[in-house]
Chain A
Amino acid sequence: MTFRSWRAKSLPAVIGLGAIVLAACGGSSTSSTGAAVTRTTATFAEGPGAQPNYIFPLASLAYFSVSNLSQFQFLMYRPLYWFGTNGQVQLNSSLSLADPPVYSSDGKSVAITLKGWKWSNGDQITARDVQFWQNMVTANKDNWAGFSPGEYPDNVTSTTIDPSNPLKITFNLTQAYGSYFFTYNELSQITPLPQKVWDKESATGAVGDYDKTPAGAQAVYKFLDSQSKAISTYDTNPLWQVVSGPWKLKSMDTAGNIKMVPNPGYGGPIKPTLTEFDEVPFTKDTAEFDQLKSATSVNNATIDWGYIPDADVLQKATLSNIYNFSVWAGWQITYFPENFTNPKSGPIFKQLYFRQAMQDLVDQNTFISKAFFGYGYPTYGPVPTKPSSTFVDSFERTNPYPYSPSKAVSLLQANGWTVNAGGTSTCTSPGTGSGQCGAGIPQGAKASFSLQYVSGTPALDQEMAQFKTDYALAGIAIDLSTAPFDTVIGNATPCKAGSACTWDMEFWGGGWIYAPDYEPTGDELWSCTGSGASVQYAGSDSGGYCDPVAQADILATETSSDVQAMYTYEDYLAKQLPVIWMPVNYAQLNMINKNLKGTQPLDPLLQIYPENWRWS
């Protein structure tokens, strides 16, 4: 499962090794600005309207967000394997709870040995805690946002704990998988849970092995879920005081004001030097910016890691005496789906030439330079181009469909359309032959579509207005409307037989961030099985795109450890245009206190590492 991304305005970053070395230096010092630094706490600004509100790591879709996982849970509950190394999307062995996985020669099982770090109550983190997660997620997969039918956890048939080594567990798989895929996309989703504390069905009940039966695991989930929804009790509930990460919750309220203190029992290589780490909520980014501006010195700043709204980014220099500005690129792509399953417009979208014409009309460079004030980068395919990685090849770094209205017009005219620039083009040569509109497109069909996009983002308003104008150059009429994020996401699902379904295009302002399945295989976005009425789309295939060639390429990325399989897949989809590729604006435009060190490089998975922060 990955997070569906929009503008993740609130997610902080990672710490460099240089900071790790210096983290041991505590106490007062003199800052680079000459002021004596006496602070021992730091404050992080939560994204506008994105307060953490769920502490139990087994989160359902409603709570499966960057603000809940990367900004909050991961600080207390470390995943089995940590991804994010020096600003790259790579397995970080030093921060992981276990040694690197060892795959059997046939690829059908994988052995994991934990490092023996301890929970905050002194108990060792063992294979049983991993098994507890596995049992819980298997029995409650319908309540877990990471569930993907046929894949994790369905592809784990059983787990075996080594009787001679309580730190070793073996996962037995349904088939052979590529080690890269299984580590980056399946094992990456596991978070060991404190079985000796959480495996119970009520607050007053005794701890047992309830998770070993599906009914018991469901009862335990029901209890833990209810406790996790009681935000006001987090700081007093003993369940949440047992943690594996570097931080423990000191207090939290329903508004999102969070205070954390170091977990002295944390087994990781970097221990916190701050005495307290705070998170503060904001309902609007302008309110957060006002608070940034209220600071008069690095020492009296009430926000140490904040952000500047897109529209105000040109004012970043006014805060340069207190804050360092930096851009935060997430491991993400941006796009919006066309509805291939719409009975009226679907046949048009299924024509590759039409999709090519649509992509030819997207002026990504202008969007970036004008709407984003230069703070963005283009998307040309399914694999993120930032940060640089081995996953992306040279083909996807170049634009297969550069902005060209004339080429779009030519494509339409060459395929049976009479182009009416500024108006609405129509199909005047129906049929499936060469030079004809294509299957399912009747005579007189109009190139007129609705596009609903998320409201409340000025840059997106600019982008969409320009988009409408550019599309009109080829006679593709776009009817724009706006709606809240949840509405747009809710609409963007494939049509089902017998139910009304009229949407053509939906844009939630972002796309997809590959986390916590970090290898961008696209299996959850564009894979499908079956055909006709029995077709099954991937869980996040919003537009109902289904292509057997793409499906075969996706499967190859899962079973092969050769990166060439990834290149084949991404090149094919970059050309096939399962969606309209749009430019990415940075996940956040950071403003970080100049005296707060250890914040760089930024983590593309939008995770934060306050245990590495220090004042200087």
Chain B
Amino acid sequence: MSTLDQPQTIVFPVPSGGTQEKPAEVQDIVPAFEAQGVWRLALNVFVQNRLAVVGVGIVVFMVLFCFVGPIFYHTNQTDTNLVNEFLAPSAKHWLGTDQLGFDIVGRLMIGGQTSLEIGIAAALIATVFGVLWGAVSGFFGGWVDNVLMRFVDVMLAIPALFLLLFLAVAFPRNVFTLILVVSVTAWLIPARLVRAEALTLRTREYVQAVTMMGGGGFRIVLRHIIPNSVGTIMVNATFQVADAILLVAAINFLGLGIAPPATNWGAMLSDGTTYIANGWWWLIYPAGIAIVLTVVAFNFIGDALRDALEVRLQKR
């Protein structure tokens, strides 16, 4: 294998159709590119990561549990019944009941729906917005970059939790609001990451070629900059989902979540800690474990995606 002390270059195709010089250290993977394509290779690398497979399994399980589970496990999650409060786990209530008399298993299902919906939707919005913001900033540079990035800097200077609490107080508390509230703070990271990618990509020959052929700036951003940043974007998006679930949990922990009977895992955890001294573990552990498992699962997936989409790591 070549070393960095003896640089060599080859030319190989990239997804946008241009060409790019590649360090000799990765020459040996080129045949794989040619034979299987980029995505096939990425998938192969991904599935070789056992933690990633476990992560996918957990996410699939959680989605099925939350969205399909209520079809088979029927509980009343609307009408409060204090007579049934704090019941210990039993055959009737597998994980007991909470302070409002709701069955914990059923509560995990509807709470999980909310957590996943908020997590995924917030990550999606933050990623889309952040990517566009960062790509435009990085590609155009100059005063555009200065203005857009200084705004990002200002937003980053505000403690995220403070901003979240302010927004959560200022607007009605429901799922839609929470999605927007989390998105407002979450888009800054992908914006900076993609901007850094764009600064590099805009100097590549294929971008210059498009420019010379009269291609517009926004076309380059949409057709070349963003597609060539997809690895960074996808990896960050998975982390965004995990972070959003944790942020929503934090907001609920501070008492600014959605109102009952709606709930989410963070709210369940927050409510449960109120009674922590009483030893009612079923109010805390199930929701806590669900949050941890889901967040870790998305992190596993993110790590594996990074490996799979990062060319230099594909041949580990």
Contact = CB atoms under 8 A, between A and B. Distances in A.
A613 B161 CA distance: 46
A469 interface: yes
Contact of A312 (B81, B271, B278): B278
A462 B82 contact: yes
A458 B271 contact: yes
Nearest to A461: B260
Nearest to B86: A370
Residue from B80, B259, B274 with most neighbouring chain A CB atoms (10 Å): B80
B212 interface: no
Interface in B67-89: 79-83, 85
Contacts of B1: none
B287 to A, nearest CB: 16
Interface string B77-118: 001111101000000000000011000000000000000000
A315 B275 CA distance: 10
Contact of A466 (B82, B259, B277): B82
A304 to B, nearest CB: 21
A363 to B, nearest CB: 8
A370 B277 CA distance: 17
Interface string A466-487: 1011001000000011100000
Interface string B285-311: 000000000000000000000000000
Given A458-B99, A458-B271, A366 B83 contact: yes
Given A456-B255, A480-B259, A462 B85 contact: yes
B255 A367 contact: no
A314 B255 CA distance: 23
B275 A311 contact: yes
B255 A481 contact: no
B261 interface: yes
Residue from B82, B99, B100, B255 with most neighbouring chain A CB atoms (10 Å): B82
Contacts of A370: 82-83, 85
B274 A465 contact: no
Given A458-B271, A462-B99, A482-B259, A366 B278 contact: no
Interface string B272-284: 0011011000000
A370 B259 CA distance: 20
A606 to B, nearest CB: 25
A465 B267 CA distance: 15
A466 B255 contact: no
A462 B83 contact: no
Contacts of A289: 277
A458 B271 CA distance: 8
A505 B260 CA distance: 18
Residue from A289, A314, A315, A370 with most neighbouring chain B CB atoms (10 Å): A370
A57 to B, nearest CB: 36
B271 A367 contact: no
Contacts of A466: 80-82, 100
Closest 3 CB pairs of A and B: A370-B82, A465-B80, A469-B80
Interface of B: 79-83, 85, 99-100, 255, 259-261, 271, 274-275, 277-278
25 contacts: A289-B277, A311-B275, A311-B277, A311-B278, A312-B278, A315-B277, A366-B82, A366-B83, A367-B82, A371-B82, A455-B255, A458-B274, A462-B80, A462-B82, A462-B99, A462-B100, A465-B80, A465-B260, A465-B261, A466-B80, A466-B81, A466-B100, A469-B80, A469-B81, A480-B259
Interface of A: 289, 311-312, 314-315, 366-367, 370-371, 455-456, 458, 461-462, 465-466, 468-469, 472, 480-482
Given A366-B82, A482-B259, 8 more contacts: A315-B278, A366-B83, A370-B83, A462-B80, A465-B261, A466-B82, A466-B100, A469-B79
